[in-house]
Amino acid sequence: MKILIIEDHKELAANTIDYLKKEDYICEVASTTKEALEKIELFEYDCILLDLMLPDGNGLEILRHIKNDIPKASVIIVSAKNSLDTKLTGLDDGADDYITKPFSLPELHSRIKAVLRRKTPETNRLLTFNEITVDLESKECKINGQLINFTKKELHLLIYFINNQNRMLSKQAIASHLWGDYTYSIDNIDFVYQHLKNLRKKIIDAGGQDYLHTVYGLGYKWIDQ
Q: Is 82 exposed, middle or buried (0-12, 13-18, 19+ CB in 10 A)?
A: exposed
CA 75 to chain centre: 13
pLDDT for the residue 121: 57
> From residue 163, how far is each of 68, 159, 160, 223 by CA, in Å?
23, 6, 5, 11
In this predicted model, what pLDDT tens digit does every residue of 6-36 receive, in sequence order?
Answer: 999 999 999 999 899 888 788 889 999 999 9
Contacts of 103 (CB under 8 A, 6+ apart): 78
46 plus 139 within the same structural domain: no
Show the domain range for 16. 2-119
Domain's final residue, options 119, 148, 170: 119
Q: Is the entire prediction scored with pTM above 0.85?
A: no
pLDDT given at position 88 = 86
Banded model confidence at residue 198, pLDDT cuts 50, 70, 90: very high
Write down which residue in 81, 103, 119 finishes a domain.
Answer: 119
Note the pLDDT tens digit of each residue in 131-170: 999 988 788 899 999 999 998 889 988 988 998 888 888 8
CATH number at residue 75: 3.40.50.2300
Asked whether residue 176 falls in the same domain as residue 148, the answer is yes
- Over the stretch 33-53, which tens digit does the pLDDT of each residue have? 999 998 888 888 889 999 988
190: confidence class by pLDDT, cuts 50, 70, 90: confident
Given this model, what pLDDT does residue 137 score? Answer: 77
Last residue of a domain, one of 98, 119, 140: 119
pLDDT tier, 187 (very low <50, low <70, confident <90, very high otherwise): low
Q: Are residues 21 and 44 in the same domain?
A: yes
